[in-house]
Structure 1
Amino acid sequence: MMINKRTLRQVVVFVSVASTICIVLFCQTSTWSFHTDACVCNCAMDSEGLLWFSQRYKPSANVTLNTKNSPLDFHTYWWWKSLQNESTVADYKKVVEVLFSLFPDKDHYSDTSPSRCRTCAVVGNSGNLIGSHYGALIDSQDFVIRMNEGPTKGFEQDVGSKTTHRVIYPESAVDMDETTHLILLPFKILDLQWLISIFTTRHIDLTYMYVKPSVKADRNKVMILHPAFMKYIYESWLQSHGGYPSTGFISLIFALHICDEVSMFGFGPTKDGVWHHYFDDFSSDSNGGPHDGGSEGEVIAQLHQKHRITTYKGWE
């Protein structure tokens, strides 16, 4: 009888330890495969959500451009080139050479691990931020990603004051302080040339419209989104709907690749269904331009429903 009890205790301990090891290994595998850090700070996604996410998310995607990953395959190059017509197209390879003689030439944010828990706020420019009082919550995140000209001064209570990354293209560029990473979203080779120009000769002040010939920013914090990353978002996440993804949607998928918990603020209409910026009264149409706002909205809703992101609408 004593032997049986002791044996039983040993079996119980063994099963308990073995179960714990299996759970830890499963969590680590899930974390590494899907970049969700499931066991550390994003634990709510169920198996159905993981399947949906894994069908769209590509862990091996080249997120930012560098010398090593800069060669573009035929299909990527022509898809990227088709986004905007350029009357004169420079030699892409030579432009890349100059780029990375000026800016950091490395694989940014390749520090994924099961123990990392990086929180990020992706802050759009919707008028639903007005009166939201989200400022403190936004500023509490490790990274705060803003886009285009979205200001903070005068709106701190609702949008926060912290900006670690700002996603821009030449036509939407603004000055930024030394704490902010300039993230270029290049729609054409001329955009890459403009980036070089604003830190050197400052001679490019016209694309299809007037652009700033100089931008205040830290050269050592410049990053460039990879054209292949833009194509991957368009094909894998949007199923090729619309002309190409919006800056806001690209910023969201960028956050999913460099962060472990993602919160979205300032996307969508106001409570009254009006689409406008929090910093002006200009109204817009959610499906205006080359972007498929409906498809982007459906993906965002799914990401929220499956607990991969948290969305804040301003009135809830």
Structure 2
Amino acid sequence: GAIIKGFEEDVGSRTTHYTFSTNTLINSMRSYAGSGYRGPPVSKETRYVFLPDHDRDYLLMKAAATHTLVERGPERAKDPTKYFGADVSAKKLKMYHPDFVRYLRNRFLRSGALKTRFKDIYRPSTGATMLLAALHTCDQVSAYGFMTPDYKNYSDHYFDSTY
């Protein structure tokens, strides 16, 4: 989850594209609530980009697009406007094509995990998928601070007070 409030000088105050899986969204809301994360940013310009790694993603996207409650699964009976705001529409919802994610996993970011018992649940991180999608589609991409040679000297999150 991206905590923006209080960090606008570092991360800006606009979010045009918010990439997540339903699992990472729910886990972030639980794990980072104490740090101020309340869910995805809600604005007229924000597009919500689902990273499909479970049927939960399709169920939440369908519910958001149709303004209905999630029909089954762990989010059953949840109201998607809680996450995306009352004016969410199909136009604001996007999803990475599963074949693109498979391509990233199998060809672009091949991992030793694919030779283990975890091969069926391994996927590139949300951030890596987002960055590589941008590199595949945009004329210019700025990945300032994404990864540096001395990354071990820094915290995992800009909002971490200790590391």
Normalising by the smaller structure, the TM-score range is: 0.5 to 0.7
Label 1:205 to 1:161 Cα distance change in 2 as closer, same or farther (>3 A): farther
Pick closer, same or farther for the CA change 1:262–1:212 going to 2, 3 Å: farther
Q: Confirm or deny: 8 A CA contact 2:51 2:96 kept in the other structure.
A: yes
Letter paired with 2:159: F
Q: How far did residue 279 of structure 1 move?
A: 2.4
Distance 1:183 1:281, change over 3 A: same
Q: Give the C-alpha shift of residue 150 in structure 1.
A: 0.7
The structure-2 alpha-carbon separation of the partners of 1:229 and 1:279, relative to structure 1 and needing over 3 Å to count, comes to same
Deviations 1:134-155 (A, max 9, x none): xxxxxxxxxxxxxxx2132221
The alignment of Structure 1 onto Structure 2 pairs a total of residues equal to: 134
CA–CA distance in 1 between the matches of 2:5 and 2:136? 29
Q: Is the 8 A contact 1:166 1:181 kept in 2?
A: yes
The alignment status of 1:203 with 2:70, answered yes or no, reads yes
> How far apart, CA to CA, are the structure 2 residues paired with 1:155 and 1:212?
29
**Which of residues 193, 211, 234 is equivalent to 2:105?**
234
Structure 1 stretch 232-241 or stretch 185-194: which is displaced more? Answer: 232-241
2:17 maps to 1:165:
yes
Per the TM alignment, residue 160 of structure 1 is displaced from its structure 2 partner at its CA by 1.3
Instruction: State yes or no: 1:191 paired with 2:57.
Output: yes
Structure 2: which 5+ runs fail to align? 26-38, 114-121
CA distance in 2, matches of 1:171, 1:282: 26
Instruction: Give, in angstroms, the shift of residue 159 of structure 1.
Output: 1.0
- State the alpha-carbon separation in 2 of the partners of residues 259 and 212 from structure 1: 34
* Counterpart AA for 1:158: D
Determine if the alignment matches structure 1 residue 278 to structure 2 residue 130: no
SS in 2 for 1:196: helix
Task: Tell me what 1:216 maps to.
Answer: 84
1:151 and 1:260 mapped to 2: Cα distance? 27
Instruction: After TM superposition, give the deviation of residue 181 of structure 1 in Å.
Output: 0.7
* 1:201 to partner: Cα distance: 2.4
Which structure: larger Rg?
1
Could you say what the CA RMSD is over the residues aligned between the two structures, in angstroms? 3.0
Is 1:253 the counterpart of 2:132 in the alignment?
Answer: yes
Confirm or deny: 8 A CA contact 2:70 2:77 kept in the other structure. Answer: no
Does the 8 A contact of 2:59 with 2:70 survive in 1?
Answer: no
The correspondence for 2:146, drawn from 267, 274, 285, is 267
How high is the sequence identity, in percent, across the aligned residues?
Answer: 31
Q: Is the 8 A contact 1:170 1:191 kept in 2?
A: yes
Q: Please say if residues 70 and 78 of structure 2, whose CA atoms lie closer than 8 Å, have aligned partners that are also in contact.
A: no
Contact 1:167-1:251 at 8 Å conserved across structures: yes
Name the structure 1 match of 2:29. Answer: none
TM-score norm. by structure 1 comes to 0.37
Where relative contact order (Cα < 8 A, 6+ residues apart) is larger, the structure is: 1
Is the partner of 2:43 in helix, strand or coil? coil
**Contact 1:170 1:212 (8 Å CA) reproduced:** no
Q: Match of 1:265, SS?
A: coil
